[in-house]
Amino acid sequence: MHLTPQKIKNYYEKAFLHFEKNIKMPEIEIIFYPYVNVNNRIKSRNNKVSVRISELLADAPIAVHKALAQILVAKLIGKKVPVKSKKIYKEYLDDENFQDIAIAHKRKNGRKILTSPKGEFFDLEKIFGKLNLVYFQNKIAKPSLSWSQRKTYRRLGHHDPVHDAIIISRSLDDKSVPKYVVEYVVYHEMLHIKHPAKNQNGRRCVHTSIFKRDEEKFAYYEEADRWIEENALKIKRKVKRAKRK
């Protein structure tokens, strides 16, 4: 059922009253916006509240829009988000049917900026080929492989199922980084292809028990894990120094 902005506006008015009974009701504008991802925005200016809701939620059930209204209004006025509202909204986003719709939308409207698999010190194509042969019997279809545009430290690698790509942080393309560390990060992302995220008991599970068991099969698992932990701060400092240049 497609709800009109006017109908949804009522849920935001009720959300304001839920948190502040005697509030002077602001003017509220509801817009469905073509975000690539499931983003929602709310802002207030001169007693006018503007709400942008992802067009992906246009056909969401009434309960989801009511929950989202409480979430956004609570954040706007600095109140605690009701646990029940968070649960309703998260369960809807984690639903497999909605995930399929969101992925198809992102694939159609989004874009992935890729650089090259060949770095200054490491070649991701060669690393992928070796790992695929040794650990996966060449059963992993090769995705797009790329070093990130910039050096990062929060995520050393990620698999993007929407654009079928594995991106490795350029921070690891460094002569001080052991090759087995780069191989471990690529191996981890390949496991995301072998073991896609699943919904378990209403929760989206990315690193399942079988994923973790397979991850420990990497020959240098402990050494790589230890190196990353011991050098995380060093990588962070290098990235921040590079940004200041």
CATH number at residue 217: 3.30.2010.10
Q: Do 131 and 91 fall into the same domain? A: no
Mean pLDDT of the chain: 91
Which residues constitute the domain of residue 79? 5-109
Q: Do 197 and 136 fall into the same domain? A: yes
Query: How many structural domains compose the chain?
Result: 2
Per the CB < 8 A criterion, the answer to whether 242 and 163 are in contact is no
Q: Do 97 and 128 fall into the same domain? A: no
Which has the closest alpha carbon to 190: 211, 172, 205? Answer: 211
Say what the pTM is: 0.62
Q: Do 81 and 136 fall into the same domain? A: no
Q: Do 162 and 128 fall into the same domain? A: yes
Mean pLDDT check: name the lowest of 102-111, 167-176, 220-229. Answer: 102-111
Report how far residue 19's alpha carbon sits from residue 158's, in angstroms, rounded to the nearest whole number. 39
Q: Do 238 and 129 fall into the same domain? A: yes
Q: CB under 8 Å, gap of 24 or more: what pairs does 148-156 form? A: 148/115, 149/113, 149/115, 150/242, 151/238, 151/239, 151/242, 152/239, 153/232, 153/235, 153/236, 153/238, 153/239, 156/185, 156/228, 156/235
Residue 115 lies in a domain: no
Q: Do 133 and 78 fall into the same domain? A: no
Q: Do 74 and 163 fall into the same domain? A: no
Residue whose structure tokens are 């399929």: 100
Query: How many CA atoms, within 13 angstroms, populate the side-chain half-sphere of residue 215?
Result: 20
Residue 117 lies in a domain: no
pLDDT tens for 71-100 read 999 999 999 999 999 999 999 998 878 887
- Name beta bridge partners: 168: 147, 157
On the question of pLDDT at 201 being above 90, the answer is no
